């Protein structure tokens, strides 16, 4: 097995050190592009079609043509994962509006997109490790108005995440006019009296693949859930709180802004959803540890 990370750049596989981009790429100068992060368990990508659908939606939203079919992407990404040794990994995909010789803001007349992907080994946390829980704080929403697009322009998220980390927390919960929207790198759920709540889809938050997957599991197992606005008061009264993301599927939150959530431990609904999620992963002969 090679220890060298292999990347995919504009139709070629090559060592990451040899994957060079022009400084005139609009992804670099304007953050003019979109991306995806896809989990891989035991050599197999999880929810790949949903990630590719969202990639295409992001591209459509920024008025770019999807460069490849799902079939072609699947072949490229499977090959990439194999070249990087299979096992548990995460894949990063980025598509930008290509090179712009004179830094004009308007789109080039002929767009040749830059298409990049790379995958890295990943040690996914076990259930016992996740159960320890994380601490989060509120951060003020400083983003633009199209937060459903998974844009490569991540500066607002970087700044809000840094603010939370510098204050000693694991994640920041983005608050806008008294309502919680999502984390800086995750979606948000709370549980109250046996019902799961998550903010409804809108242009104010990313429509997380893990979020949808968990709601699908709740639906399938007849666990009551609602997509509704979550106020700061709701957060403080929650019996459980979790954040979700592809790279850290369901993390229980045990403290919000110094206030203990529930009894300060991962709750029973988290326990159940974790088992259901891990079960799905294992069913596909994958390896999220229990």
Residues with a known catalytic role: 150
Give the long-range contacts of residues 278-285, CB within 8 A, separation 24 or more.
278/127, 280/213, 280/217, 281/41, 281/46, 284/41, 284/44, 284/46, 285/42, 285/44
Q: Closest separation between CB of residue 58 and ligand PDD, Å?
A: 11
Residues 232-271 that bind ligand PDD (CB under 6 A): 244-247
Q: Considering beta carbons, is residue 100 or 157 the nearer one to ligand PDD?
A: 157
Residues 9-48 that bind ligand PDD (CB under 6 A): 37
Distance CA 36, CA 19 (A): 18
Pair of tokens at residue 241: 């709180």
Q: Closest separation between CB of residue 35 and ligand PDD, Å?
A: 7
Residues 134-163 that bind ligand PDD (CB under 6 A): 157
Per-residue contact flags (x/-) with ligand PDD for residues 53 to 72, judged by CB under 6 A: --------------------
All residues at 6 or more sequence positions from 157 whose CB lies less than 8 Å from its CB, including other chains:
143, 184, 185
Number of residues that bind ligand PDD (CB under 6 A): 15
Residues 187-226 that bind ligand PDD (CB under 6 A): 187, 206, 208-211
Q: Is 25 helix (H, G, I), strand (E, B) or coil?
A: strand
Which of 141, 171, 182, 240 forms a contact with ligand PDD (CB under 6 A)?
Answer: 182
Q: Closest separation between CB of residue 243 and ligand PDD, Å?
A: 8
CA 5 remoteness from chain centre: 22
Distance CA 207, CA 127 (A): 25
60: how many CB neighbours lie within 10 A of its CB?
Answer: 13
Judged by the rule CB under 6 A, the positions of this chain that interact with ligand PDD are 37, 157, 182, 185-187, 206, 208-211, 244-247
């Amino acid at each position: 097995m090679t220890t060298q990370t292999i990347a995919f750049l504009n139709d070629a596989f090559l060592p990451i050190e040899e994957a060079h981009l022009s400084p005139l790429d609009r992804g670099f100068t304007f953050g003019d592009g979109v991306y995806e992060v896809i989990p891989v368990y035991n050599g197999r990508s999880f929810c790949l079609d949903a990630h590719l659908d969202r990639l295409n939606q992001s591209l459509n939203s920024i008025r770019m043509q999807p460069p490849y079919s799902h079939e072609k992407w699947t072949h490229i990404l499977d090959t990439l994962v194999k070249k990087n040794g299979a096992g548990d990994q995460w894949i990063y995909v980025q598509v930008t509006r290509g090179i712009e010789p004179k830094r004009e803001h308007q789109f080039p007349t002929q767009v040749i997109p830059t298409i990049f992907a790379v995958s890295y080994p990943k040690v996914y946390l076990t259930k016992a490790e996740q159960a320890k829980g994380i601490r989060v704080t509120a951060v003020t929403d400083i983003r633009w108005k199209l937060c459903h697009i998974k844009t490569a322009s991540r500066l607002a998220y970087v700044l809000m995440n840094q603010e939370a980390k510098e204050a000693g927390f694991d994640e920041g919960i983005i608050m806008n006019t008294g309502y919680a929207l999502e984390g800086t790198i995750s979606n948000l759920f709370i549980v109250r009296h046996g019902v799961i709540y998550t903010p409804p889809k809108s242009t104010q938050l990313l429509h997380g693949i893990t979020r949808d997957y968990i709601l699908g599991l709740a639906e399938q197992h007849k666990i009551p859930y609602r997509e509704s606005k979550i106020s700061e008061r709701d957060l403080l009264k929650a019996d459980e709180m979790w954040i979700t993301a592809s790279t850290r599927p369901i993390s229980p939150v045990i403290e919000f802004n110094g206030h203990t959530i529930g009894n300060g431990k991962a709750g029973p609904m988290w326990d159940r959803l974790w088992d259901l999620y891990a079960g799905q992963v294992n069913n596909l002969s994958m390896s999220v540890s229990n």
